[in-house]
């Protein structure tokens, strides 16, 4: 008989989609449960073929898949894995989605468009998810789109561990826009109460932004800055904020984000700015070692997901990991 506060490895199955098998393997290793095989192929008509390589009957199943490019393929893989697990009589089916990219589509701000974050949340439930684990949603309200229990986890502890080994004297934390100022303030508090400022940003298009100035703490007297956001995609906001900071006397900048997507050669463009000395992100999105920029630092969140999985399995509180709890992001 299993002890009440230990994991029964035979009762747990962990599978990975094709988006981030390295993180899935690290999560499984942290838990002490082997990562089961998933077979993913394509038929000649381009339809996906997915098969889970181990029995899931009457077991707790954790399916790990980040919604990274090609997003639609990775979403379809996840939906199929959920359906497979449910149809094969799994006891519980947990969708572990380190990066939920559709969280950016959280409102209807133009005519005749989809609130895709809600649509995908409904699809996950329909496919068979009984619980969702994710990390740092772009918009907090997306949490409410899910009709099954959903736990957004915080990444701040891994960043705190990374930066507490550095000299942060004369450092200011900067949010690229007012919307992310709240999370930047909590990040600054974690680092000993650093001052906080925010960019006054106007989004012109998906790839273009305009930042007209900095709001909040005065930049005078600071030489270092940590620009903190949930995600870097095209990198336009980071480049614009960095430009303004440099004009105001900042000589050393580090960029910090949970989800480092880095589209359209963003890493190269950001790394080319000499004042940007580091780009720090997590492994919610996989970056092959051969394509990593010398300034890129990746911190792992595998142990955060592993601990959340352990606590969910044992019926324990995850308040210390929860994005809106003590570890609020």
- Model-level pTM? 0.92
DSSP 164: T
Residue 305, token pair as written in the block? 């997901």
Could you give the CA distance from residue 197 to residue 3 in angstroms, rounded to a whole number?
A: 49
Instruction: Give tens-digit pLDDT for 155-195.
Output: 999 999 999 999 999 999 999 988 888 899 999 999 999 99
pLDDT at residue 325 tops 80: no
CA-closest candidate to residue 84, choices 110, 52, 37:
52
- Kind of pairing, strands 196-203 and 209-216? antiparallel
Angle at 269 between CA 297 and CA 216, to 5 degrees: 75
Q: Which residue has the tokens 């393929």?
A: 73
Catalytic amino acids?
201
CATH 3.40.50.2020 domain position(s) in the chain: 9-154+302-314, 156-299
Could you give the CA distance from residue 55 to residue 12 in angstroms, rounded to a whole number?
A: 10
What is the CATH code for 156-299? 3.40.50.2020
Residue 181, pLDDT score: 86
Could you give the CA distance from residue 290 to residue 224 in angstroms, rounded to a whole number?
A: 29
Percent of the chain residues past pLDDT 70, beyond the cut: 92
In this structure, which CATH number among 3.40.50.2020, 3.40.50.1400, 1.10.3720.10, 3.40.50.720 belongs to the domain 9-154+302-314?
A: 3.40.50.2020
DSSP 34: P
Mean residue pLDDT of the chain comes to 91
Could you give the CA distance from residue 97 to residue 131 in angstroms, rounded to a whole number?
A: 11
What DSSP line would sit under 79-123, residue for residue? Answer: HHHHHHHHHTT-SEEEEEES--GGGG--S--STT---HHHHHHHH
Instruction: Give tens-digit pLDDT for 57-93.
Output: 999 999 999 999 999 999 999 999 999 999 999 999 9
Residue 2, pLDDT score: 40
CA 315 to chain centre: 24
pLDDT at residue 329 tops 80: no
Residue 201, pLDDT score: 60
Mean pLDDT of 123-143: 96
Neighbours of 248 (CB within 10 A): 15
pLDDT at residue 215 tops 80: no
């Amino acid at each position: 008989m299993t002890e009440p506060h230990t994991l029964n490895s035979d009762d747990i199955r962990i599978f990975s989609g094709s988006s981030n098998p390295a993180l899935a393997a690290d999560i499984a290793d942290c838990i002490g449960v082997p990562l089961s095989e998933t077979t993913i192929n394509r038929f000649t008509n381009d339809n996906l073929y997915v098969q889970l390589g181990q029995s899931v009957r009457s077991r707790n199943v954790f399916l790990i898949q980040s919604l990274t490019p090609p997003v639609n393929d990775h979403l379809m893989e996840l939906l199929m894995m959920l359906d497979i697990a449910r149809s094969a009589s799994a006891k519980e089916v947990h969708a572990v989605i380190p990066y939920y990219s559709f969280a950016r589509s959280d409102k209807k701000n133009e005519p005749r468009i989809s609130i895709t974050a809600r649509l995908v949340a409904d699809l996950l439930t329909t496919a068979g998810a009984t619980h969702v684990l994710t990390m740092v949603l772009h918009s907090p309200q997306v949490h409410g789109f899910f009709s099954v229990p959903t736990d957004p986890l915080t990444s701040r502890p891994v960043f705190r561990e990374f930066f507490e080994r550095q000299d942060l004297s004369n450092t200011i934390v900067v949010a690229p826009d007012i919307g992310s100022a709240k999370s930047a303030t909590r990040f600054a508090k974690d680092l000993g109460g650093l001052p906080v400022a925010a960019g006054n940003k106007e989004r012109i298009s998906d790839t273009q932004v305009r930042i007209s100035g900095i709001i909040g703490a005065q930049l005078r007297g600071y030489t270092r800055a940590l620009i903190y956001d949930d995600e870097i995609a095209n990198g336009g906001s980071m480049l614009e904020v960095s430009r303004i900071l440099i004009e105001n006397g900042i000589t050393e900048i580090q960029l910090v984000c949970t989800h480092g997507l880095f589209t359209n050669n963003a890493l190269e463009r950001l790394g080319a700015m000499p004042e940007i000395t580091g780009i720090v992100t997590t492994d919610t999105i996989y970056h092959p070692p051969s394509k990593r920029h010398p300034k890129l630092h990746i911190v792992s969140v595998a142990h955060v997901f592993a601990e959340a999985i352990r606590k969910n399995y044992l019926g324990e509180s995850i308040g210390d990991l929860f994005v809106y709890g003590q570890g609020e992001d």
